[in-house]
Structure 1
Amino acid sequence: MKRGLQGHYEESVVGGETVKAFVPDPLPPRPEIVFDANRRHLLERATLALGKLDSITLLLPDPDIFLYSYIRREAVLSSQIEGTQSSLSDLLLYELEEAAGVPFDDVVEVSRYVAAMDHGMKRLAEGFPLCNRLIREMHEILLSHGRGSHKQPGEFRRSQNWIGGTRPGNAYFVPPPPHRVSECMDALERFLHDENQPYPTLIKAALAHVQFESIHPFLDGNGRLGRLLISFILYHDGMLSKPLLYLSLYLKEHRSYYYDLLNRVREEGEWELWVDFFLEGVEKTATDAVNTAKELVETIHSDEERLKALGSRANSALRCLRALSHHPIATIGSLCDATGLSYPSVSKALDRLEKEGIVKEITGKARNRIYSYTKFIEILNREGR
Structure 2
Amino acid sequence: MPESLEQLLQRVTQQQDQIAQARPLPEATLRSLLDDFLIRFAHDTTALEGNTLTLHETQVVLEHGITIGGKTLREHLEVTNVAKAWEALNAWVRSAEPLTEELLIHLHRLTMAGILPEEAGHYRTVPVFIRGSQHVPPNPLRVPKAMEDFVQKFAHRPPGMHPIVFAAHAHIQLAAIHPFIDGNGRVSRLLVNGLLLREGYPPASYPATSRAEYLATLERAQVTQDRDPFVRVTAEAVDWMQQRYLLAIRHTNSMPPIQDLDSD
Same fold (TM over 0.5): yes
- Identical residues among aligned pairs (%): 23
Where does 1:42-191 land on structure 2 (aligned, <5 Å)? 42-52=8-18, 58-62=24-28, 63-94=30-61, 95-99=63-67, 101=69, 103=71, 104-145=73-114, 148-150=115-117, 152-164=119-131, 172-191=134-153
- Among candidates 155, 170, 173, match of residue 211 of structure 1: 173
- Among candidates 221, 235, 245, match of residue 290 of structure 1: 245
Q: Secondary structure at the match of 2:24?
A: helix
CA 1:259–1:69: 2 relative to 1, 3 Å: closer
CA 1:292–1:226: 2 relative to 1, 3 Å: farther
Instruction: Answer whether contact 1:90 1:102 (CA < 8 A) is retained.
Output: no
CA 1:152–1:102: 2 relative to 1, 3 Å: same
* Greater share of residues in strand: 1
State the one-letter code of the partner of 1:164.
R
State the one-letter code of the partner of 1:219.
I
TM-superposed CA distance for 1:205, in Å, is: 0.9
CA 1:85–1:189: 2 relative to 1, 3 Å: same
1:198-247: per-residue Cα shift (whole Å, max 9, x none)? Answer: 523222112111111111111111111111211111122x333xxx4223
Q: 2: CA distance between counterparts of 1:292 and 1:90? A: 26
- Among candidates 206, 212, 217, match of residue 256 of structure 1: 212
Q: 1: CA distance between counterparts of 2:136 and 2:148? A: 20
TM-superposed CA distance for 1:160, in Å, is: 1.4
TM-score (norm 1): 0.57
Instruction: Answer whether contact 2:43 2:54 (CA < 8 A) is retained.
Output: yes
* Counterpart residue number, 2:7: 41
Q: 1: CA distance between counterparts of 2:196 and 2:218? A: 21
Q: 2: CA distance between counterparts of 1:114 and 1:275? A: 25
CA 1:112–1:295: 2 relative to 1, 3 Å: farther
Q: 2: CA distance between counterparts of 1:227 and 1:64? A: 21
CA 1:68–1:215: 2 relative to 1, 3 Å: same
Instruction: Answer whether contact 1:131 1:189 (CA < 8 A) is retained.
Output: yes
Instruction: Answer whether contact 1:90 1:107 (CA < 8 A) is retained.
Output: no
Q: 2: CA distance between counterparts of 1:89 and 1:54? A: 31
State the one-letter code of the partner of 1:47.
T
TM-superposed CA distance for 1:158, in Å, is: 1.0
265-274 or 135-144, larger mean C-alpha shift = 265-274
Runs of 5+ unmatched residues, structure 2: 256-264
TM-superposed CA distance for 1:71, in Å, is: 0.9
CA 1:273–1:100: 2 relative to 1, 3 Å: closer
Instruction: Answer whether contact 1:53 1:290 (CA < 8 A) is retained.
Output: yes
Q: 2: CA distance between counterparts of 1:292 and 1:161? A: 44
* Counterpart residue number, 1:239: 200
Instruction: Answer whether contact 1:53 1:289 (CA < 8 A) is retained.
Output: no
Instruction: Answer whether contact 1:191 1:197 (CA < 8 A) is retained.
Output: no
Q: Secondary structure at the match of 2:190?
A: helix
- Among candidates 182, 194, 218, match of residue 220 of structure 1: 182
TM-score (norm 2): 0.80
1:78-122: per-residue Cα shift (whole Å, max 9, x none)? Answer: 111111122344344434344363623312210000001101111
TM-superposed CA distance for 1:77, in Å, is: 1.5
Q: Secondary structure at the match of 2:103?
A: helix
State the one-letter code of the partner of 2:141.
H
Instruction: Answer whether contact 2:112 2:183 (CA < 8 A) is retained.
Output: yes
* Counterpart residue number, 1:269: 225
